[in-house]
A and B are shown apart, each in its own frame.
Chain A
C-alpha cells in the first residue's frame, strides 16, 4: 500500500460518491484517472484490504432485529460450530476471542423468534451452551470507517 492507496481508502470508506462515475470523481481528488483508481481498488480487494464495496443497511431501519451472542465452545469443537454458523446467512460475524466465553457472533433476522430458533438449533445440534443472547440496550456508535494514517 502506498500513500495514494491510503488516500483512496480514506475517501471511499466514508465518501464514496453516489454519482455517475464515482471512481473518476475520486480520481480527481487524488490526481488519477477513474480507471487508475478502479485498478487500485480491485487490487486492494484482491489483497483482502477491502472486504466489500457497496451499501451497508441499518438492520433496525430495515425492520430487522440484531443481536450479539456469546457461547463458550471447547477448542476441539470450534471448527464444527464455526461450520454450523457459516451455514446461516442470518449470522454475519463470528469471532474467536480471548477469554470465556470464547465465541462471539452476530445474528440479524426479521424477527426475534427466528433468532431464538437459530440459537436453539445451534445449541441442540452442536451440543454447546448456554448461548447468551445480548441485544444492545443502547447503541452509541457503529462506524467501521477506519482512518488510515500515513497518507
Chain B
C-alpha cells in the first residue's frame, strides 16, 4: 500500500499519546484541519485494509494475571508446515505463531508464544498443542525478564 502525504500526516498524528482523552480522534482532526468524520472514515479504511492490524489497548501479560509467559519452539521434524501452523494458531492462549529458519544447534522452527495463568496451565497448553499437532519435540523458553517493549514509530 502506498501512502500519500495526507495518510502519512494522519499516521503521524495517530501515533501520538492522545488516547486518554474522551474524544481522541477529535484531537487528530483538529491537528490536521480535517473533519472528525473524515478522520474516522480513513482510520476505519486503514483498519479494514489491515494497515492498522489492531486498534485498542495492549496489555502487559505479566501484570494482567498471566504469570507464566513462554515461547515454545517446536521441532517440525520435516512435517508440512501450513496445517500444523494453523492448528497451533487456533489455540486461544497462543498469541503469536510463526515458522522461522533453523540455525546452528537449534532445530526448532515453529514458534508459539503462550500466556498462562500458572505453570500447571502452561503444561496443559503444551500438552494440548502437542496432541493436536502431533509434534513431540519442543523446548520451553520461559520469559525470565522483559527488557524492552515498545511500539515502532512510523514516519517519525
Q: Which residues of A contact B (CB under 8 A)?
A: 1, 9, 12-16, 18-24, 34-35, 38, 41-42, 45, 47-59, 61-64, 68, 70, 82, 85-86, 89-99, 101-102, 104-105, 108, 130, 132, 134-148
Nearest residue, chain A, Cβ from B92: A147
Asked whether B131 is an interface residue with its Cβ less than 8 Å from the other chain, the reply is: no
Rounded to whole angstroms, the CA-CA distance of A104 and B141 in the bound complex is: 10
Q: Which residues of B contact A (CB under 8 A)?
A: 1, 11, 14-15, 17-20, 22-26, 36, 40, 43-44, 46-47, 49-61, 63-66, 71, 81-82, 85-86, 88-89, 92, 94-101, 103-104, 106, 111, 115, 139-154, 156
12 extra interface residue pairs, beta carbon distance < 8 Å, beyond A18-B55, A95-B147: A12-B57, A19-B25, A19-B40, A23-B22, A41-B20, A61-B50, A64-B154, A70-B103, A93-B149, A95-B144, A141-B95, A148-B64
> Are B63 and A24 in touch, CB under 8 angstroms?
no
Given contacts A53-B56, A57-B52, A148-B64, contact A98 B148 (CB under 8 A): no
> Are B145 and A143 in touch, CB under 8 angstroms?
no
Nearest residue, chain B, Cβ from A5: B64
When distances are taken between beta carbons in the complex, the residues of chain B under 8 Å from A142 are 53, 95-96
When distances are taken between beta carbons in the complex, the residues of chain A under 8 Å from B20 are 38, 41-42, 45, 53
> Are B55 and A9 in touch, CB under 8 angstroms?
no
Given contacts A54-B14, A140-B86, contact A34 B22 (CB under 8 A): yes
> Are A14 and B54 in touch, CB under 8 angstroms?
yes
Nearest residue, chain B, Cβ from A8: B57
> Are A146 and B115 in touch, CB under 8 angstroms?
yes
> Are A58 and B50 in touch, CB under 8 angstroms?
yes
> Are A97 and B143 in touch, CB under 8 angstroms?
yes
> Are A90 and B152 in touch, CB under 8 angstroms?
yes
CB distance from B28 to the nearest CB of A (A): 11
When distances are taken between beta carbons in the complex, the residues of chain B under 8 Å from A64 are 152, 154
> Are A9 and B144 in touch, CB under 8 angstroms?
no
Rounded to whole angstroms, the CA-CA distance of A8 and B74 in the bound complex is: 35
> Are B148 and A92 in touch, CB under 8 angstroms?
yes
> Are B97 and A141 in touch, CB under 8 angstroms?
yes
When distances are taken between beta carbons in the complex, the residues of chain B under 8 Å from A24 are 22
Nearest residue, chain B, Cβ from A1: B65
The 8 closest A-B pairs by CB, nearest first: A16-B56, A141-B89, A140-B89, A94-B148, A53-B19, A140-B97, A140-B85, A96-B145
Given contacts A14-B56, A140-B97, A146-B64, contact A56 B151 (CB under 8 A): yes
